[in-house]
């Protein structure tokens, strides 16, 4: 499996975690903040959208921190509907996936810039692959707090033995770790 195929699957996996978490909470929970220094799910989505739009637009040709981006505005609580949250979410991911589809293995060693700091394309991808799950973890955590009966997005508590038993019944094979989770 190529690096690009692997990272696409990982981004798909984390996108699905965020979506499954947001689907488990009511509209009001998308805007809940535990305190003034914390971000709501909506604010996190707004920030992810701004980051994705800046980083992945004209990825190979312009700095990843676009002059048009106002990062501080991403943390202003001005989103008021689930539809807008999901629209920003989907638009950001669409930009990311469209860009990934254009990349080739030969692009991975090219140098791109983020705030004038040079990165290979592979390093820039890894940077975002660390950044987005950090925030998606926050989304999942807030959803767990707010949901009435949160359904686990990974191996549920007290189910590791059962899960492992099923996995070890399978023949050894090369497969991506996300394939089981993306089916759910």
Q: Are 41 and 147 in contact (CB under 8 A)?
A: no
Domains and CATH numbers, the chain: 3-183 (1.20.120.450)
Read off the pLDDT of each residue in 96-120 and give the average, rounded to a whole number: 98
Read off the pLDDT of each residue in 125-142 and give the average, rounded to a whole number: 98
- Give the separation between CA 167 and CA 146, rounded to whole angstroms: 32
- Binned at pLDDT 50, 70 and 90, residue 179 comes out as confident
Contacts of 59 (CB under 8 A, 6+ apart): 99, 102, 103, 112, 121, 124
pTM of the model: 0.93
Read off the pLDDT of each residue in 73-95 and give the average, rounded to a whole number: 97
Cα dihedral 123/127/128/134 (nearest 10): 160
State the pLDDT at residue 183: 65
State the pLDDT at residue 177: 79
């Amino acid at each position: 499996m190529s690096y690009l195929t692997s990272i696409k699957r990982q981004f798909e996996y984390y996108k699905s975690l965020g979506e499954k978490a947001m689907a488990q909470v009511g509209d009001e929970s998308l805007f809940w903040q535990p305190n003034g220094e914390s971000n709501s799910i909506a604010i996190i989505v707004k920030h992810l959208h701004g980051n994705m739009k800046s980083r992945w637009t004209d990825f190979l040709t312009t700095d990843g921190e676009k002059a048009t981006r106002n990062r501080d505005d991403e943390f202003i609580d001005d989103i008021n509907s689930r539809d807008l949250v999901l629209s920003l979410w989907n638009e950001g991911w669409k930009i990311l996936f469209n860009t990934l589809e254009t990349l080739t293995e030969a692009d991975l060693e090219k140098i791109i810039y983020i705030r004038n700091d040079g990165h290979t394309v592979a390093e820039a991808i890894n940077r975002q692959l660390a950044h987005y799950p950090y925030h998606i973890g926050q989304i999942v955590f807030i959803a767990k707090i707010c949901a009435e009966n949160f359904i686990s997005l990974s191996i549920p508590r007290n189910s590791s033995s059962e899960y492992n038993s099923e996995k070890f019944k399978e023949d050894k094979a090369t497969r991506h770790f996300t394939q089981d989770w993306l089916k759910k």
